[in-house]
């Protein structure tokens, strides 16, 4: 079983990267957006100044480069495992069908142990579903033998991103550029970033920010229980603001 996109183990990129191989006459790097997939969805890119980006796919409504984008990846699957596995195995076979090749890449499988507990594994690929099962490839090996037990599969959170306002999903990135539905793009998850304010930010001692359900930022003290976005880096609030984005490193 092989992945249709080569999995990248090195997260540190050249300053001019990532290479935009779709637009052959120029390199848009992190500003590239295209209906042609060029990297694994969820691939991590670290710039020399410490900003972190993830490769994402836009779904209905697309995304823009001034607001956070929400993930609409579906809920987890709770499925039985069809075969026993040994220590060191890097594949599982689950009793669930309907998947195209590598549809689960970038997601996670939590595999329950035979005597309780379990372990979380990154998914790097899957076969086309058979008549009753689907074979899934894991990044790291199993640390214990398992019988025909159960697993939970979580879809890749970067594989379905939208700027459409929603109250029951989390912001996973701030797009580096505007991208339309079904286009791939890079979204920032950490470091200095400019994000649209959803209200007049009062500044002063109020420096922490939270995401509203439209991907803009609000004073965290005015946004109880909303997702933490980061904090204001520049003094005052008249421009920007320049935000220290703190979604994921």
Model confidence pLDDT, tens digit, residues 178-226 = 999 999 999 999 999 999 988 877 666 778 899 987 899 998 877 677 8
Closest CA to 4 of 127, 186, 154: 127
Distance CA 246, CA 52 (A): 10
CA dihedral of 210, 246, 36, 161, whole degrees rounded to 10: -30
Residue 84 belongs to some domain of the structure: yes
Host domain of residue 135: 77-154
Residue 93 belongs to some domain of the structure: yes
Beta bridge partners of 134: 94
Residue 82 belongs to some domain of the structure: yes
Among 1-10, 101-110, 166-175, the range scoring the smallest mean pLDDT is: 1-10
Distance CA 212, CA 167 (A): 9
Q: Which residue has the tokens 């439209």?
A: 214
Which residues lie closer than 8 Å to 13 by C-beta, 6 or more apart?
45, 46, 47
For residue 8, pLDDT over 70 is answered with: no
Q: How many domains does the chain have?
A: 1
pLDDT at 39: 86
pLDDT at 3: 54
pLDDT at 139: 94
Better pLDDT: 140 or 115:
140
Residue 185 belongs to some domain of the structure: no
**Percent of the chain residues past pLDDT 70, beyond the cut:** 88
Residue 14 belongs to some domain of the structure: no
Residue 129 belongs to some domain of the structure: yes
For 57, counting Cβ atoms within 10 Å of its Cβ (0-12 exposed, 13-18 middle, 19+ buried), the class is buried
Residue 111 and residue 78 in contact, taking contact as beta carbons nearer than 8 Å: no
pLDDT at 113: 82
> For position 145, which CATH number holds?
2.40.10
């Amino acid at each position: 079983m092989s992945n249709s996109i080569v999995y990248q183990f090195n997260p540190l990129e050249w300053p001019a990267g990532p290479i935009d191989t779709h637009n052959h006459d120029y390199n848009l790097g992190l500003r590239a957006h295209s209906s042609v997939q060029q990297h694994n969805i969820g691939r991590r890119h670290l710039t020399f100044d410490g900003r972190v980006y993830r490769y994402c796919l836009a779904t209905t409504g697309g995304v823009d480069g001034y607001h956070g984008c929400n993930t609409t990846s579906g809920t987890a699957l709770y499925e039985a495992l069809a075969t026993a596995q040994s220590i060191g195995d890097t594949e599982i076979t689950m009793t669930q069908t309907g998947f195209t090749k590598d549809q689960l890449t970038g997601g996670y499988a939590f595999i329950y142990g035979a005597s309780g507990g379990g372990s979380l594994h990154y998914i790097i690929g899957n076969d086309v579903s058979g008549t009753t099962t689907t074979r899934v490839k894991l990044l790291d090996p199993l640390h214990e033998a398992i019988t025909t037990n159960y697993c939970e599969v979580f879809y890749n959170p970067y594989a379905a991103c939208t700027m459409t306002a929603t109250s029951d999903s989390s912001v996973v990135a701030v797009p580096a550029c505007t991208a339309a539905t079904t286009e791939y793009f890079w979204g920032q998850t950490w470091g200095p970033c400019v994000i649209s304010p959803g209200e007049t930010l009062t500044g002063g001692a109020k420096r922490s920010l939270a995401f509203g359900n439209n991907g803009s930022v609000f004073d965290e003290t005015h946004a109880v229980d909303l997702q933490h976005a980061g904090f204001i880096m520049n003094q005052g609030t008249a421009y920007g603001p320049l935000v220290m984005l703190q979604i994921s490193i």
